Amino acid sequence: MLIKRAAPAVLIMAIAATFSAAANAQGFMLGGGGMGGPFSNASNPMGLLQRIEVQTHLHLDLRQKNALAEVQNGMQADMRSRMQQVFQGNNPATLRNMTPEQRNTQMQEMQGKVQAAMETFQGELTDKVKKILKPEQMTRLHQLDLQKRGPLGLSDAKVADELKLSPESRAAIAKIAADYQATVGKTMQEAFQSAAQSGNLQRGQGPDLSNKLSPVRKAIDKAKKEAEDKIVAALTTDEKAAWTAAQGDPFKFRPDVMPQNGPGAGRGFGGG
């Protein structure tokens, strides 16, 4: 596996940059738009509320917009602080002294901690949003959140509970989602390894995620589409109906804008 051959420093940079992209994708960074993938299937109401078309659709008034702006201020610094705690103690020298198996385990633990930190942070943001929006706005925002996350969102236990998915469906979805995340992780690691070998990473140029025709973007998009199709196929007829109903009336999101020159560049996933 490539992860066993990659330099420890490159692996740390890959995980950190992958988190940065995921954070941007979920609207953690200022100006983010929240796309729900390809990096994550986590709930992201705050990211959605930064999208102009969603603000208009929900008929947000000036007071609500100002209150949301206050919540948004400071998010980046808060998340950066949490990530520093996650990566504290994980330096290249430590990883270099590990066996490939130990290094693999350490990387998986780091990825798990990153995901946990993101979910905790998102939960706190959601609680703040609930205090700003009206009940009917919150209900519609939840529907839009499900639409943006897509079928991969069904791997979330809360969503599965809401739709009353069977144990069999939950197990099948969990495996599909895990395989998808593994594919994304491997694809990003390979992309960062290639960028490091070419010298692009040292020049601040990560994998090209902005171009849908780039190899890494095409691979992730393909993996996501395949995972979504498998998840829908795993649902029973009643579960498919419940999933459709939970999303409410279809909403047209503006296209997501990926950051230029890989994760961390630009202002994140903008506007639409």
Kindly state whether residue 252 falls inside one of the protein's structural domains. Answer: no
pLDDT score recorded for residue 28: 38
Q: Are residues 27 and 45 in contact, defined by beta-carbon separation less than 8 angstroms?
A: no
- Hey, how many other C-beta atoms are within 10 angstroms of the C-beta on 64? 18
Range with lowest mean pLDDT among 5-14, 50-59, 161-170: 5-14
Which of the residue ranges 30-34, 106-110, 193-197 would you say has the lowest mean pLDDT? 30-34
Q: Are 90 and 19 in contact (CB under 8 A)?
A: no
Residue 260 is assigned to a structural domain of this protein: no
Residue 145: exposure state from Cβ atoms within 10 A (0-12, 13-18, ≥19): buried
Q: Is residue 231 part of a domain?
A: yes
d(CA 72, CA 66): 10
Radius of gyration of the chain (CA): 19
Residue 268 maps to a domain: no
For the chain, what is the domain count?
A: 1
Coil/strand/helix, residue 105: helix
Give residue 197's domain range: 2-246
| pLDDT tens readout for residues 165-211 | 999 999 999 999 999 988 888 888 888 877 777 776 666 667 777 77
Domain contains 57: yes
Helix, strand, coil percentages, rounded to 5, for the chain: 65, 0, 30
Return the residue matching tokens 């236990």.
157
Give a yes or no: residue 178 inside a domain: yes
**What is the rounded CA–CA span in Å between residue 263 and residue 23?**
10
Q: How far is CA 102 from CA 83, 84, 94, 114, in A?
A: 22, 22, 11, 18
With respect to residue 12, please indicate whether it lies within any of the assigned structural domains.
Answer: yes
What CA–CA distance (Å, rounded) separates 227 from 219?
A: 12
Integer Cα distance of 92 and 11 in angstroms:
9
Which candidate, 12, 19, 37, places its Cα nearest to that of 80? 19
Least reliable range by pLDDT among 87-91, 196-200, 224-228: 87-91
Give the range among 68-72, 94-98, 194-198, 262-266 with minimum mean pLDDT: 262-266
Q: Assess if residue 86 is contained within a domain.
A: yes
Cβ atoms of residues 239 and 154 within 8 Å: no
From 145, 75, 36, 257, select the one nearest 268 (Cα to Cα).
257
